[in-house]
Structure 1
């Protein structure tokens, strides 16, 4: 595989996951993160080019959805506040902890994807060993850092992120000890990709705050979210292309029933779950917004929009049933199908709930939701114009250069810290938090500064 081909495949996944992570910000928590997790699994299997991996796509997508979705339990808002501060100790700590938390968000789902690409299948004892290591690691992390040392990552918020970091270390330990090279590769690239995506996304978001000096504004949270998904998906895919080659003579029916269930969950349940848990409480806000925008019947229009979300979920359900039927029958199907369907469904779903089609354009406002459509256009165009070719399952794997990867990651983080000295300032301090001293932007001027500065 040439570099150009590798970059193209990685860019496809980067755009798909970047779009999904940007949309995730509207819904949050576990269910919100399941969508980009599922898209990561779907898009990666499509570009991986392994015919033997294709029947496992629904199972991989369901597992990546669960693994990345679990990260929605972590509290990370104050960490972004630290990274917005303009003092070296605070933004260094903020960027470092965002790297660790972003890494914890991505590593579990990416490890599961790698494990299903192993030639040596996972048995019941393997799964028990992995889960035990994860839970023990999480418990040790909380006990040591919170209980014995008494350090809290972002007071007064919870320390669940510490448990996730300990669990990630437990996962790495098990993967190394069990000789699961492809699973370990996925875990490492998932950690580094989403870690750098989270920290780099915050840095880029901080830089966009200065746009107001030129009369432009942008949702800096959306900038961070888009960047996190884009970098995380792209780095994981670039590192995993060519990693893991299933036996092409393996039993094709082995994953048929789990695949059917995975297809129903990924395309059918995830959008419906968003509708049932994340939409109804938005309706009163729709009514108020539409009334303020001058629409004559905001209540009726809000009801129509709500029915539109129901229709989108129905389309997703039909797509899930079609995919499940194809899998049951053993028919050939286009590998891009689920990625395109889920991306289109969730994009329209988000546009409806965000009132994108009813909000007029604002002068000087750079609407990131329009950027969602740009990303989707690439996701849609790639399989039409490029049609990535299958790769031989017998191809040798590329060597894993641990030292170079570690040094490169540290160097990139150092660059982020150096650039924060330029991007951060009075404007970012308007929404910042600091750890030294403990301070929040809504408490008035930063201690030690004159009022109004």
Structure 2
């Protein structure tokens, strides 16, 4: 595969997941993270060029949705506060912790996707072994670090991230022990990609705060979120292209029912779940906001009906996709990722009242950026027309030295650049661990910085 072809395919996934992760910020937690997780699986399978993977697309997307969605249980707001501090020990710790936590977001979805790209089938015993390793690691890490040693990652918040890190190590150990090359590669590139994406996104978010010097403002959290998804999706895909089973002819029928159920979940359930669990808490504020913007009182009801219409349309798409899978029909491989992307993009724009908010001078609206990313997602399959590859490269081993050194060097550069981006402006929303301090506690002890 030529370099530019590889870059183009990776950029397609990066834009799709970057937009999805930015939208995730509006909804949060497990269900919010399931959307970019599903998009990662859909987009990667589309550009992978493997007919066998394509027949498993919905199953892979459901697994990546579950794997990445599980990360929504972790608390990470205070870690971002540390990375916004203006003292080296605090922001170095913050960026390192964000790298580890971002890696825990991405590694499980990446590992599951890689497992389904293995030439060797994954049997029931394999799933049991993997689950046992993850559970054991998830129990052992907090038992040692939190209970025995007394280490807390972001006091006073929870230590679930420590359990996730232990679970990730358990996953790595099982994949390496059982010689699951594609699964291990997916887990590693998912960890590195989303880890660097989270840390690098925080750095860009810190830098974005300084736009006010030129009279511009932007939501620095959205900058971080978009960057996390963009880098995570792009790095994972670049590392995973060329993997996949060689012979698609022997695909067993046992995957047909899971594929149908996966299609219903990814395109039908995920948008509807957002509607049922995340929209009701927003409706109360819509009326007041729309009145302040000069709109009629009944518009809030129209917005709510609009979200219902999006869910109905997505559900119809899920039924059509499931029918195609059940009948064994061929279908355009780009449609699921485009369909889920446009459904959730319009859904988010409705719930954020984007269509009714006037432009504000000097405000850079990241929701407009979502449309720019989606434009690339829509244009790439039409203009590039990536071809399927009848044969794929053998499962190549991970170059551990290059991966570790490159990752450490990149993280080091991020920490070094934070010395220039962090200061009085970032301290306005910062936290520190040494001493324990939050921006709403008043001026930082011993510093002239003001919140």
How far off its partner does 1:291 sit? 1.2
- Select 2:390's aligned residue among 389, 392, 409: 392
TM-score by length of 2: 0.99
Tell whether 2:171 aligns with 1:171.
yes
User: Any idea what SS the aligned residue of 2:360 has?
Assistant: coil
For 2:407, the equivalent position in structure 1 comes to: 409
How far apart, CA to CA, are the structure 1 residues paired with 2:392 and 2:422? 50
How far off its partner does 1:250 sit? 1.7
Within 5 Å, which residues of 2 pair with 1:3-18? 3-18=3-18
How far apart, CA to CA, are the structure 2 residues paired with 1:60 and 1:390? 18
Q: Tell whether the 8 Å contact from 1:194 to 1:232 is kept in structure 2 after alignment.
A: yes
The Cα RMSD (Å) is 1.1
User: Any idea what SS the aligned residue of 1:417 has?
Assistant: helix
Q: Tell whether the 8 Å contact from 1:193 to 1:236 is kept in structure 2 after alignment.
A: yes
How far off its partner does 1:396 sit? 3.0
How far apart, CA to CA, are the structure 1 residues paired with 2:448 and 2:386? 60
**What do residues 74-114 of structure 1 show as CA deviations (whole Å, max 9, x unaligned)?**
00000000000000000000000000000000000110000
The 1:328–1:307 alpha-carbon spacing in structure 2 relative to 1, beyond 3 Å, is: same
Q: Tell whether the 8 Å contact from 1:63 to 1:112 is kept in structure 2 after alignment.
A: yes
How far off its partner does 1:292 sit? 1.1
**What do residues 328-348 of structure 1 show as CA deviations (whole Å, max 9, x unaligned)?**
111110000100000000000
The 1:33–1:394 alpha-carbon spacing in structure 2 relative to 1, beyond 3 Å, is: closer
How far off its partner does 1:22 sit? 0.3
How far off its partner does 1:452 sit? 5.1
For 1:359, the equivalent position in structure 2 comes to: 357
Q: Tell whether the 8 Å contact from 2:50 to 2:392 is kept in structure 1 after alignment.
A: no
- Select 1:447's aligned residue among 422, 441, 445: 445
Q: Tell whether the 8 Å contact from 2:52 to 2:244 is kept in structure 1 after alignment.
A: no
How far off its partner does 1:254 sit? 2.9
For 1:428, the equivalent position in structure 2 comes to: 426
How far off its partner does 1:246 sit? 4.3
Structure 2, gaps ≥5 residues long? none
For 1:118, the equivalent position in structure 2 comes to: 118
How far apart, CA to CA, are the structure 2 residues paired with 1:240 and 1:450? 48
**What do residues 173-205 of structure 1 show as CA deviations (whole Å, max 9, x unaligned)?**
000001100000000000000000000000000
User: Any idea what SS the aligned residue of 1:144 has?
Assistant: helix
User: Any idea what SS the aligned residue of 1:357 has?
Assistant: helix
For 2:108, the equivalent position in structure 1 comes to: 108
How far apart, CA to CA, are the structure 1 residues paired with 2:249 and 2:435? 62
**What do residues 265-322 of structure 1 show as CA deviations (whole Å, max 9, x unaligned)?**
0000000000000001101111111111122x23x10000000000000000000000
The 1:399–1:184 alpha-carbon spacing in structure 2 relative to 1, beyond 3 Å, is: closer
Structure 1, gaps ≥5 residues long? none
The 1:451–1:62 alpha-carbon spacing in structure 2 relative to 1, beyond 3 Å, is: closer
For 2:37, the equivalent position in structure 1 comes to: 37
How far apart, CA to CA, are the structure 2 residues paired with 1:10 and 1:281? 36
How far apart, CA to CA, are the structure 2 residues paired with 1:249 and 1:325? 21
For 2:283, the equivalent position in structure 1 comes to: 283
For 2:316, the equivalent position in structure 1 comes to: 318
How far off its partner does 1:249 sit? 2.9
Q: Tell whether the 8 Å contact from 1:33 to 1:69 is kept in structure 2 after alignment.
A: yes
The 1:122–1:398 alpha-carbon spacing in structure 2 relative to 1, beyond 3 Å, is: closer
How far apart, CA to CA, are the structure 2 residues paired with 1:16 and 1:387? 17
For 2:372, the equivalent position in structure 1 comes to: 374
